[in-house]
């Protein structure tokens, strides 16, 4: 699989085939990552009554502030951890290495804080770019787009931004066009799933007659959507690996 990703003529269909193969062969691990990612949200929903009261209350107590910020911090941490774990799993699968969820999470754990810090730097750079003009903002967004994969897979911290820049340099339009197609595909999928869910609700009056069934359908659609989102992340990683392997192979042979 690694040898295939060193080819310069891969298309989006190839990325999808490779990514789907990785996803299906390791679906249990990916589902575990989704649990880690969304567990804080589940806990948040469990505390919904307290949170609702918190948002309606004008005079917050220190305990209420603590609960609110705790959920927020845990969610950000868990989401970042999974964002790092998915690229690690993907490259291990590409290289034919063993896949162990706990080992992957342990590898990703020390990279969470650097990831959060670089994300802040990235946000500041983009803000400046979009304040100047929309075009510089778009250019900077694409140039730095791969920094999460770089932090996860390469020994980089703040230099992940320059690594991504050098990777995109000279093929900005290729990266733009392929990510544009992937993002449009993802948006269409989300739209279709939303329409399907609302259609089922409308046809069967699920929301009125069977609220429990509506809740169950909502969970099913949510899990399905989250799984497809996970697959999309794998596709982005495979695209990154293709660019990275080509660049390193070219550098090594020149």
pLDDT tens digit sequence for 72-111: 888 899 999 999 999 999 999 999 999 999 999 999 999 9
Q: What is the pLDDT of residue 3?
A: 85
Taking CA atoms, 176 is separated from 28, 43, 139, in Å, by 32, 38, 9
In a domain, 127, yes or no: no
Q: What is the mean pLDDT of the chain?
A: 84
Q: What is the pLDDT of residue 40?
A: 72
Mean pLDDT computed over 48-59? 54
Domain count, the chain: 1
In a domain, 125, yes or no: no
User: Range of 24's domain?
Assistant: 4-110+170-245
In a domain, 250, yes or no: no
Give CA angle at 194 (191, 197), nearest 5°.
150
194-243 pLDDT, tens digit each: 788 777 767 666 555 666 666 677 777 777 888 888 999 999 999 999 99
In a domain, 122, yes or no: no
In a domain, 226, yes or no: yes
In a domain, 117, yes or no: no
State pTM to two decimals. 0.84
* pLDDT at position 148 over 90: yes
C-beta of residue 46 within 8 angstroms of C-beta of residue 67? no
The pairs formed by 191-199 with CB atoms below 8 angstroms and a separation of 24 or more are 193/221, 193/224, 193/225, 196/221, 197/221
pLDDT confidence band for 43 (50 / 70 / 90)? low
In a domain, 116, yes or no: no
Q: What is the pLDDT of residue 252?
A: 47
In a domain, 133, yes or no: no
């Amino acid at each position: 699989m690694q040898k295939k990703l060193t080819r310069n003529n891969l298309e989006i269909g190839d990325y999808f085939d490779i990514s789907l193969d990785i996803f299906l062969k390791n679906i249990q691990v990916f589902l575990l990552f989704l649990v880690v990612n969304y567990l804080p949200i589940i806990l948040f929903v469990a505390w919904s009554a307290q949170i609702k009261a918190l948002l309606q209350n004008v005079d917050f107590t220190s305990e209420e502030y603590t609960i609110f910020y705790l959920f927020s911090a845990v969610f950000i941490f868990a989401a970042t951890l999974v964002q790092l774990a998915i690229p690690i799993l993907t490259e291990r699968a590409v290289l034919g290495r063993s896949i162990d969820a706990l080992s992957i999470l342990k590898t990703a754990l020390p990279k969470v804080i650097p990831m959060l810090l670089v994300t802040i730097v990235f946000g500041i750079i983009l803000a400046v770019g979009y304040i100047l003009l929309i075009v510089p903002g778009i250019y900077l967004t694409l140039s730095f787009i791969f920094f999460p994969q770089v932090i996860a897979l390469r020994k980089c911290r703040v230099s992940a931004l320059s690594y991504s820049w050098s990777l995109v340099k000279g093929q900005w339009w290729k990266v733009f066009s392929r990510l544009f197609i992937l993002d449009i595909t993802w948006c269409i999928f989300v739209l279709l799933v939303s329409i399907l869910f609302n259609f089922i609700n409308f046809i069967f009056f699920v929301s009125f007659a069977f609220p429990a069934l509506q809740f169950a359908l909502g969970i099913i659609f949510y899990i399905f959507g989250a799984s497809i989102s996970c697959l999309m992340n794998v596709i982005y990683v495979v695209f990154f690996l293709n660019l990275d392997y080509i660049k390193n192979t070219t550098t090594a042979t020149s």
